Homo-oligomer: A and B are copies of this chain.
Amino acid sequence: MKEWMKNVRNVTPYVAGEQPADKNIIKLNTNENPYPPAPAVRELLNGFDTDILRKYPDPDIKDLCAELAAYHGLSSDRVFCGVGSDDVISVAFLTFFAGKKKVLFPDVTYAFYPVWAQLYGIPYEEIPLKEDFRIDAADYRRENGGIIIPNPNAPTSILEGIEFVEDILKHNPSSMVMIDEAYIDFGGKSVLPLLEKYDNLLVIRTFSKSRSMAGMRIGYCMGCKEAIAAMNSIKASINSYTLSQIAISAGVLSVKDDAYFKEQCGRIVKTRDEALKTLAGLGFTGPESAANFVFVKHESLPGDYIFEELKKRRIFVRHWNKPRIADYLRITIGSDEEMKRLYEALNDIIQSERK
């Protein structure tokens, strides 16, 4: 080993879903949106004066924070924006999980949580989901240095009710409780109203799923103003300017077009509900989904087998070779045409196996 490598930090990085360069692949593996961003985003870019780019963007991202705050009925100083919700959560871990007690999150959840914890030296404990993949609020009544839970949870797609989150908040007044609402726009009920009652709640959102802007990199969170100020101090200790001037303006325009936003989300919800029925007809079962993906297993074929067979047919879904979920597939809801090709491929795989 080279001498200087002794000072290199050791990590086990997060592994994201594949981003194949081949445009002919049906990509149902990273929960992207099948529909384009709001039309105003295209107009913005197509008329963009690049002379603006020679200057730094607004370090405080004021325009986007204000737009989001107005949209959610909050004041501007209660919104924090970052380079996708991963950036937001990374800053939140650094900001709020600086104690010595263990941070808690489910054992089957977004696999990035333990990665951030390890990177920043945060002790943590994974709390097992119940048999039916539900999260029990009672499991979070123990000493901890903070809590993070996605709602709906991923990859299970299960939404817990507001009372579930309120139970956790009530029993943990000295912990920051982060609710990652990356998938809340697909029919779920947000815990945002609880912000008025609990200052230890942080609600995290992304533009990557429901707003069709994964490629633009915008995420945000909402909390009490002391919490947002603390995050801004950490952010200003990492990178003065995160969101480009283009991302800031595009984000504002996306939020302004609420009719388009709701229409696209509605289409995905409709396709998803049909998908669960169609997949049931093919022998798949899985929880009722409140996200833009479903989490299903087949009555007879193993998860890794279907995953590989779909891949051969140029359809990418997500599969984890992990205890409890190895037979499950997480399938993003694509366009109706993409879903039709998925069903055909699954039917083909099942029929081939029966011969």
Contacts and interface: CB of A to CB of B under 8 A. Distances in A.
A151 interface: no
Interface in A163-187: 173-176
A6 B99 contact: yes
B37 A50 contact: yes
A112 B238 CA distance: 9
Nearest to A82: B239
7 contacts: A9-B94, A37-B50, A42-B49, A53-B212, A54-B214, A55-B215, A217-B241
A51 interface: yes
A233 interface: yes
A5 B199 CA distance: 10
Contacts of A12: 237
A326 interface: no
A199 B54 contact: no
Given A19-B56, A41-B50, A86 B240 contact: yes
A352 to B, nearest CB: 30
Contacts of A96: 4, 7-9
Contact of A98 (B7, B226, B247): B7
A240 B16 contact: yes
Contact of A234 (B9, B36, B235): B9
A245 B14 CA distance: 20
Give chain A's interface residue range (CB within 8 Å of chain B).
35 or more
* Oligomer: number of copies: 2
Interface stretch (A114-122, A152-160, A307-315, A339-347): A114-122
B19 A84 contact: no
B83 A54 contact: no
A89 to B, nearest CB: 9
A242 interface: yes
Interface in A47-99: 47-59, 83-84, 86-87, 90, 94-99
A200 interface: yes
Given A2-B200, A86-B238, A174-B6, A215 B45 contact: no
Interface in A229-274: 230, 232-247
A98 to B, nearest CB: 4
B11 A233 contact: yes
Nearest to A209: B54
B175 A7 contact: yes
A8 B230 contact: yes
Nearest to A103: B7
Contact of A7 (B146, B235, B247): B146
Contact of A46 (B45, B87, B173): B45
Nearest to A39: B50
A203 to B, nearest CB: 15
A109 interface: no
Contacts of A213: 53-54
A173 B3 CA distance: 7
Given A4-B200, A83-B242, A53 B215 contact: yes
Contacts of A289: none
Interface stretch (A27-35, A134-142, A294-302): A27-35
A279 to B, nearest CB: 23
A174 B54 contact: no
Nearest to A59: B16
A172 to B, nearest CB: 8
